[in-house]
Structure 1
Amino acid sequence: MACCSTNSYNLLILYKLSTKSTNPCISSSSSSSTRRAQSISGHEAHTAVPQTSSDPASLFSIQFRTLEACRLGIGRYPDFEYNAIGGIGTAVGEARTTNPADEIFVDFDIGTLHVPPLTGETTRFLGLPLPPLLKIDIAPEIFQGTINRKSGRVELRFRAGFWFSIGRIYRAPPLMVETTLTSEESKGSMRRGRGKMMDAEGMCRLVGVAAVDPIDDAFMNFFLGLPTECVAELSAQVLITTTG
């Protein structure tokens, strides 16, 4: 209980910072962190490049949509409620078995992948919207893995930079997060979550736990208690159509 109170107090500090026009106490360093968090999910995504097939029946058009009722959490802070409606990505998938109903390998085009930022419009903390000017942009770098239409199992390796900013006053180096978003269970030493298998309409819930390393920003390291763990739970829909 004491930990949650401390974390909530830290967020109150950030709220006050976000409403000030100046903030000389915070460094405005824009250097990028090259540290990459290691996935601590209990599952590894299949990332091997599949064999190219000349059979159009083995190729699929994949569309990935994020929905509402998601949650994000970091360290020992209470979780953020996140409405991710509007997130979308596309990929061409290829069957990795002789039966196209089974496992499909997908590698999403990062240029088409959009994940809504965390703002006062999309995110709530302790029942309240994020404070004005506070924004967390999500910049994906990798989104690939396997989808099994027969079992409903989804395993997608996800790597992205999370950019914290307060208007034009402050912008921190990115927090690099790498994990496997799975329809099964993901757990670390602090955080855990359980997903939900994809159903006949492509609806699923994906969860991933990851380590988050310190960055080149003393304020953020202190504020978030880095190094630590984070968890993401995404409600999503995966639409699969044959291209042949």
Structure 2
Amino acid sequence: MVICQVVILSSVMHLTSQKGCRLAIGAYPAFSYDARGGGGDGLLGPMNQDGLRSLRFDPKNLIIPALSWRTTQILGLPMPPGLNISITTQKLEGSFAPDSGELSLQFEAQFCFTVGSWLTAPDLTVNTCLSSGKVESQRHHVQGQALDADGNAVLVGVSIVPLSGAAWLDQFLGLPDEALAVLRCQLQN
């Protein structure tokens, strides 16, 4: 007689984005960004021999609020009305160390700038590692925060944003140049 036992070693971890996030591109001042209302469920895999668990979010079910006058401030003032930056995630996956609370997630997304209904800029591609560790680059020196007992974390990452293909936008933003992301979030399973 053969007895089979199936053990499910994965679970769901829910990410909720919070206020107090920041985004910056090039030499421009950082945007203060209230990302409340965003998030999604990620699949938390089994522990590997290094004490890490894989964590993968389905981009189709991940909500990231748009940057607009409602959610974003620049130098303490709301972003101009009519200007909108939507974010379409293509990838958010990596690893989670349960013992230390450290997170490392590869983030790939398209940022689409629109001004009212009359101007749509080419998408900007952002590809970075969002980490609870330290990030140092030419422009930025930022420290993330590992997952604490309440499930709060700060993930930071720097990406080189390539040319968009629109000369006016590339010149305006000084592309290619660095972009900074600071994501305050809560993760719970």
Whether the TM-score (by the shorter chain) exceeds 0.5 is yes
Hey, what does 1:214 align to over in structure 2?
A: 163
Matching residue of 2:45: 94
Aligned residues of 1:191 and 1:230 also touching (Cα < 8 A): no
* Distance in structure 2 (CA, Å) of the matches to 1:187 and 1:181: 13
For residues 78 and 221 of structure 1, the distance between their equivalents in structure 2, rounded to whole angstroms, comes to 17
| Partner-residue secondary structure (3-state), 2:37 | coil
3-state SS of 1:173 partner: coil
Question: Could you list the runs of 5+ residues in structure 1 that have no partner in the other structure?
Answer: 1-53
Which residue in the other structure is 2:14 paired with? 63
What's the TM-score once normalised by structure 2's chain length? 0.94
Aligned partner letter, 1:142: K
The offset of 1:149, in angstroms, is: 1.6
Tell me the secondary structure at the aligned position of residue 165 of structure 1: strand
- Indicate whether 1:238 and 2:187 are aligned: yes
For 1:120-175, what per-residue CA distance to the aligned partner results, in whole angstroms no more than 9, with x for missing partners?
00000011001010000000000000111210100000000000000111001100
Aligned to 1:158: 107
Match of 1:175 in 2: 124
Match of residue 107 from structure 1:
56
Give deviations 1:156-195, integer Å, cap 9, x for gaps: 0000000000011100110000000000011222223110
Alignment partner of 2:27 out of 76, 83, 89: 76
> Which protein has greater RCO, CA pairs closer than 8 Å, 6+ apart?
1
Q: CA deviation at 1:75?
A: 0.7
Q: How many residues align?
A: 185
Supply the RMSD in Å over aligned alpha carbons. Answer: 1.5
Give the conservation status (yes or no) of the 8 Å contact 1:120–1:132. Answer: yes
Q: Which amino acid aligns with 2:29?
A: P
Runs (5+) with no aligned partner, structure 2: 1-5
**SS of equivalent residue, structure 2 residue 60:** helix
Higher strand share: 2
* One-letter code aligned to 2:73: R
Aligned counterpart in structure 2 of residue 85 of structure 1, from 12, 36, 41: 36
Does the Cα contact within 8 Å between 1:117 and 1:136 map onto a contact in 2? yes
More helix as a share of residues? 1
Percent sequence identity over aligned pairs: 35
Answer whether contact 1:205 1:234 (CA < 8 A) is retained.
Answer: yes
**Structure 1 runs (4+) greater than 4 angstroms displaced:** none
What's the counterpart of residue 3 of structure 2?
Answer: none
Cα deviation digits, residues 83-134 of structure 1 (max 9, x gap): 00011111221123369xx421111111110100000000000110010100
TM-score normalised by L of structure 1:
0.73
Q: Distance in 2 between matches of 1:69 and 1:189?
A: 23
* Distance in 2 of aligned mates of 1:194 and 1:188: 12
